[in-house]
Homo-oligomer: A and B are copies of this chain.
Amino acid sequence: MMEQNTKPRVVVVGAGFGGLEAARRLGGADLDVVVIDRRNHHLFQPLLYQVATAALSPADIAAPIRKILRRFRGVRVLLGEVTGIDTVGRKITVDGSELSFDWLVLAVGATHSYFGRPEWERFAPGLKTVEDALEIRRRFLLAFERAEGAKDESERRAAMTFAVVGAGPTGVELAGAMAEIARTVLPGDFRIADPRAARVVLIEGEARVLSAMPEECSVAARRQLEELGVEVVCGSRVTHIDEFGVTAGDLRIEARTVLWAAGVQASPLCALLGRALDRAGRVMVRPDLSIDGDERVFVIGDAAHCIDVRTGAQVPGMAPGALQMGRFVARTIVDETRAAARGFPAPTRSAFVYRDKGALATVGRSRAVADVGGRRFSGFAAWILWALVHVTAIVRFRNRMFVLMGWIWSYLFFDRGARLITGSTKPR
């Protein structure tokens, strides 16, 4: 498929935060870098819930991988699906063709886990891709249309009841945004249904929302969610989901729209390495992020189960960790190939150390919680910090400008410009 090349070839699978960062760093060195992804675009996932809630368009938070990497002439981008990895023979299979590698960086990310209940997916879509976001947007907007055309009050109530399963950052953001839109954006649009009567229920198995953050943040986030009218149900595990609603413990909620923001499962590609996986399917990596018995194959980001040697804790599956891992393995590869080219022995490898910069989560307009540098705060200041961090982190400037404008517009005019139902207008 590709011409011969005498430079060492590094194949990076996946162009999420980790893979893209590795590719950029590798791109400056004298290497033959091939980036493979199933999608033509890198997705800024932290803002994906804003596409689902009609504040932004897909193009605002996604950019073509080729465009991001175009200035690195040594980097090639291949749109394709990896179906096989042969670490012994040093080759991977992409859409039926084989591609050899000297080094491999697996940055294939994670998807939702339905805790062994894949049949729930149909009733409760999750939020990982642009298509997921448009599907959630479709269901959310269609719910009010169904309420407007409902034959009786109980049908109308069920149509306007939304359940979100899982109160991590995504669940909190989704629930908050939905409650807010129902109360501020939609009311004037309907004649029979009253969107202000919409019920948003956030269901969490753990004892508190945002359980990965300090307790103060959970308390503040819950208070802010309740201010927006979200009903928060903690310590309750979902036992059943069907097209009419969700059951959690002894609580039954008649909700025509159920969204999934709970479990995480690493990509099935992780299993192709034939190494030990954790319960979520992540590859157990060594301190230098290589896999057991193969120091030229690395796994980074959400696909890796990595223990920070300093703290003994697992590196959290968020963008900063993935970025740092991408940078770390790129440096290892660049240093060792350079040494080899000059006939020097490989430098001793160090262990990956995660630099925890804190965490932020937003709940709605002017509402967020922050845990940064040991300081915990919430409200408007946290929200401004959240907005600054996210708009700064968006990869491409065009998107950054459009995102900012979209936010300013929504903030000032309580409007959501992207309220389009695409795809079928039939409920399911």
Contact = CB atoms under 8 A, between A and B. Distances in A.
A288 interface: no
Residue picked from A57, A415, A417, most chain B C-beta under 10 Å: A417
Interface string A89-116: 0000001000000000000000000000
A1 B146 CA distance: 12
Given A189-B64, A189-B70, A415-B398, A148 B421 contact: no
Interface string A52-66: 001001111011101
A402 B420 contact: no
A134 B130 CA distance: 13
A60 B57 contact: yes
Interface stretch (A37-45, A215-223, A312-320): A37-45
A350 to B, nearest CB: 33
A76 interface: yes
A399 B417 CA distance: 8
Contacts of A67: 189, 419
Contact of A149 (B38, B78, B421): B78
Interface residues on A, range: 35 or more
Given A149-B79, A422-B130, A59 B417 contact: yes
A420 B59 contact: yes
B131 A40 contact: no
A409 interface: yes
Contacts of A419: 40-41, 59, 64, 67
Contact of A58 (B40, B57, B396): B57
Nearest to A191: B76
Contact of A1 (B95, B151, B409, B425): B151
Interface in A111-156: 130-131, 134, 141-142, 145, 148-149, 151
Contact of A66 (B38, B59, B190): B190
Nearest to A144: B66
A309 interface: no
A373 interface: no
A142 B81 CA distance: 14
Interface in A63-92: 63-64, 66-67, 70-71, 73, 76-81
A162 to B, nearest CB: 18
A405 interface: yes
A396 B423 CA distance: 23
A418 interface: yes
A189 B79 CA distance: 13
Contact of A62 (B1, B81, B420): B420
A374 interface: no
A160 B71 CA distance: 23
A188 B76 CA distance: 11
Contact of A131 (B1, B188, B405, B423): B423
A71 B62 CA distance: 34
Contacts of A396: 417
Contact of A59 (B39, B57, B81, B405): B57
Interface of A: 1-2, 38-41, 54, 57-60, 62-64, 66-67, 70-71, 73, 76-81, 95, 130-131, 134, 141-142, 145, 148-149, 151, 188-192, 396, 398-399, 401-402, 405, 409, 413, 415, 417-423, 425
- Minimum-distance CB pairs A-B, first 9: A57-B57, A59-B418, A66-B189, A79-B145, A40-B421, A64-B419, A70-B188, A57-B59, A398-B417
20 contacts: A2-B192, A40-B425, A57-B57, A57-B58, A57-B59, A59-B420, A64-B189, A67-B419, A70-B188, A73-B191, A77-B189, A78-B149, A79-B425, A81-B425, A130-B422, A131-B422, A131-B423, A134-B422, A396-B417, A398-B409
